[in-house]
Amino acid sequence: MTYLKKGLKGVSLLFITTILATLIGYITRAVLARSLQPEQFGLFYAVLSLMTFILIFTNFGFGSSLTKHVSEFVSKKDRNAMKTVIVFVSSIKLGLAVIASLILFFLSKFLAANYFKNPVAEVLLLFFAVILIISTFNSLLLNIFNGLQKYFLMGGIQLFEKIMFLVFVLVFVYSGFTKNASLATFAYLVALALTGLVFVFVMLRQTRLSRLKFSPSKKLFKKLSSFASASFLTSVSRVVIGYIDTLMLTFFTTLAQVGVYNVVYPTVLMLTVVGKAVNNVIFPMSSELWAKGLKDKLKAGMMMIQRVILVVLIPLALVLLIFPKLIITLLFGAPYASGYFAMQILALGVIFASMGTVYYSVLKGIGKPLEVTKIVGIGAVFNIVMNLILIPIWGIEGAALTTTLSYLLMLILASFKLKKFVSVPLNPSMWLRLVIGAVVFVVVVYFLNSLLTFNVYLAAVLSLIVGALAYLVVCKYLKLITLKEINFFIKQLTHK
């Protein structure tokens, strides 16, 4: 088995488990949204966002450094050095986590009163002071499994955690537990603790650390620190774009608004699975073609992948644009339906985000990861500034617009940067055909939905099915996608 095929097989396995974990996490979010009031739901995710933001600083890039060097020393068959790396990084990350946990503990009362503006937040912050340490420990296990290239365990730990969280949420909801943010927090704490307890034994069995020697050196520590520093900026930037909107919404608006945004944003982000799936193909493909000097084939591959992503994403985004209230009400309940406009704005953003993922993957594949770091860093700064301007004025709609514009800015920057190495033409013909397909889909769906007067959900489903069929016919007729291209992706993702 070649390294490329082995990598594709491993990534495919990880992709499947990640999809399952994401789906279960989304179901958990829906259960919590229907069980808690929007304010309590928003409080839980506001505190969770704060903890996630803190975690990036306790990680300080050492997670990526751990993965990289475990993999390196395993390949060199130097397992004593592997143990030294694991002990080094674990000590640093857990030490930083304990310090951050103590700070969170002592500031809990102040933050509850002045930032969250809710007395219940104080209790949650005390729980999260413990969760922060456990979460850091679990992330260490994830990094180690990644370094060992144990993709099944890497996906398994994430899937197990999500399943346990859902299980304990359901247990607490139906056992008479007070239905507030504490329910979700305690369920999350138990799920994380159980996950860490189970998988630490798996890690010890895989590495057999007790049989290895610990041999520290200044040279190795400098090597670990240097790599960690290089990856820290990218990690910070990605977390800023993903969580700063929730943190600012918490400060400038109400917890109920935070709750609404935290059902809308994750719902739209489900569509990014398309970009992530294609990323599993484009990254190794671009790396191999670039190494062989086959720029024309890389350009052709990018054009095909860009077209496929748009063909798949456009109708999905249009569904969110046409039926936002219906979707939110069906999944989370009427109290969250006020987020419909934010969903419509983000539906455009998810297209920009998915296209950007392809460009970032190619840049990294051709050996330009620093360019991606710069692009994401600029996007993060733009995101912070625009959130400060728009959230106080427009609330969750301002946050949604900022996120969409940030994705668009990063896509434009990545496009210009990539042109220096691989010039991909704009292809007006493709865009015109895509517009025709989108118009056909919208017209058919709107027309049928207006004619059908029975149950609104059934009418929406039937109109979407007919609209999708019409869209597929147009795509086939206009040659936007072929069976040969579909088979290519399936083979690349499942080839053994």
Predicted confidence at residue 2, as pLDDT, reads 46
pLDDT at residue 88 greater than cutoff 90:
no
pLDDT at residue 467 greater than cutoff 80:
yes
pLDDT digits (tens, 9 = 90+) for 25-44: 999 999 999 999 999 999 99
The length of the chain is 496
Distances (CA, A) of 273 to 18, 47, 277, 441: 10, 26, 6, 22
269's tokens? 């982000």
Choose among 104, 253, 87, 118: nearest CA to 181.
118
Predicted confidence at residue 3, as pLDDT, reads 44
Span between the terminal Cα atoms of the chain, in Å: 8
Confidence of residue 12 (pLDDT cuts 50, 70, 90): low
The reply to whether 29 and 122 lie within a common domain is: yes
pLDDT at residue 155 greater than cutoff 70:
yes
pLDDT at residue 487 greater than cutoff 70:
no
The reply to whether 21 and 50 lie within a common domain is: yes
Whether residue 348 is contained in a domain is answered as yes
Predicted confidence at residue 1, as pLDDT, reads 43
Find the domain containing 228 and state its range.
1-252
The reply to whether 86 and 197 lie within a common domain is: yes
Choose among 94, 163, 102: nearest CA to 135.
94
Confidence of residue 496 (pLDDT cuts 50, 70, 90): very low
Whether residue 440 is contained in a domain is answered as no
Residue listed under structure tokens 């996630």: 52
Last residue of a domain, one of 426, 455, 485: 426
Predicted confidence at residue 43, as pLDDT, reads 95
Specify the DSSP element, H or E, that contains 478.
none
The reply to whether 217 and 317 lie within a common domain is: no
pLDDT digits (tens, 9 = 90+) for 335-360: 999 999 999 999 999 999 988 888 88
The reply to whether 214 and 259 lie within a common domain is: no
Confidence of residue 162 (pLDDT cuts 50, 70, 90): very high
Last residue of a domain, one of 200, 220, 252: 252
Average pLDDT over residues 464-470: 94
The reply to whether 12 and 157 lie within a common domain is: yes
pLDDT digits (tens, 9 = 90+) for 171-219: 999 998 888 999 999 999 999 999 999 999 888 888 777 776 767 677 7
What whole-number distance in Å separates Cα of residue 459 and Cα of residue 477? 27
The reply to whether 244 and 105 lie within a common domain is: yes
What whole-number distance in Å separates Cα of residue 458 and Cα of residue 477? 29
Residue listed under structure tokens 């046409």: 322
What whole-number distance in Å separates Cα of residue 368 and Cα of residue 418? 10
Percent over 70 (pLDDT), the chain: 89
Specify the DSSP element, H or E, that contains 282.
helix 273-291
CA count, 13 A, side-chain hemisphere, 126: 6
What whole-number distance in Å separates Cα of residue 402 and Cα of residue 390? 7
The reply to whether 17 and 166 lie within a common domain is: yes
3-state secondary structure 413-456: HHHHHHHCCCCCCCCHHHHHHHHHHHHHHHHHHHHHHHHCCCCH
The reply to whether 299 and 248 lie within a common domain is: no
The reply to whether 191 and 260 lie within a common domain is: no
Whether residue 483 is contained in a domain is answered as no
Average pLDDT over residues 60-71: 74
Per the structure, how many domains does the chain have?
2
pLDDT digits (tens, 9 = 90+) for 265-317: 999 988 887 776 666 567 667 777 787 788 888 888 788 778 888 898 999 99
What whole-number distance in Å separates Cα of residue 347 and Cα of residue 12? 26
The reply to whether 73 and 154 lie within a common domain is: yes
3-state secondary structure 227-238: HHHHHHHHHHHH
The reply to whether 343 and 245 lie within a common domain is: no
Task: Give the DSSP letter string of 337-382.
Answer: GGGHHHHHHHHHHHHHHHHHHHHHHHHHHTT-HHHHHHHHHHHHHH
Predicted confidence at residue 213, as pLDDT, reads 73
pTM of the predicted protein model: 0.85
**Count of other CB atoms within 10 angstroms of residue 180:** 19
